Structure 1
Amino acid sequence: MTARNSAAAQAATMRANARRGVWQRLLAALGVRTDRVRRADAVAARWEHGAAGEAETARLVAALGSQGWVIRHDLRMPGSRANLDHLLVSPCGTAVVVLDSKHWHRGRTTMLRNRRVFCGIEDRQWQVDAVARYAARVSRTLDLPGVVVWPLLVIHGSPIAGGRLEAQASDWDGVVHVLGPARLVPTLAAAPKVHDPARAAAVAARVDRVLTPYIPGPRRVR
Structure 2
Amino acid sequence: MSENALKELGDHVASQLGDDVLKVELKLGELMITVRRPSIVKVLTFLRDDAKCRFEQLVDVTAVDWPERAERFEVVYNLLSVSQNRRIRVKLWTDEDTPVPTVVPVFSLANWFERETWDTYGVFFADHPDLRRILTDYGFEGHPFRKDFPLTGYVEVRYDEDQKRVVYEPVRLTQDFRTFDFLSPWEGMTNVMLPGDEKAQDQGGKP
TM-score when normalising by structure 2: 0.27
Bigger radius of gyration among the two: 2
TM-score when normalising by structure 1: 0.26
Between Structure 1 and Structure 2, which shows a larger proportion of strand residues? 2
Between Structure 1 and Structure 2, which shows a larger proportion of helix residues? 1
Q: Which has the higher contact order (CA 8 A, sep 6+)?
A: 1
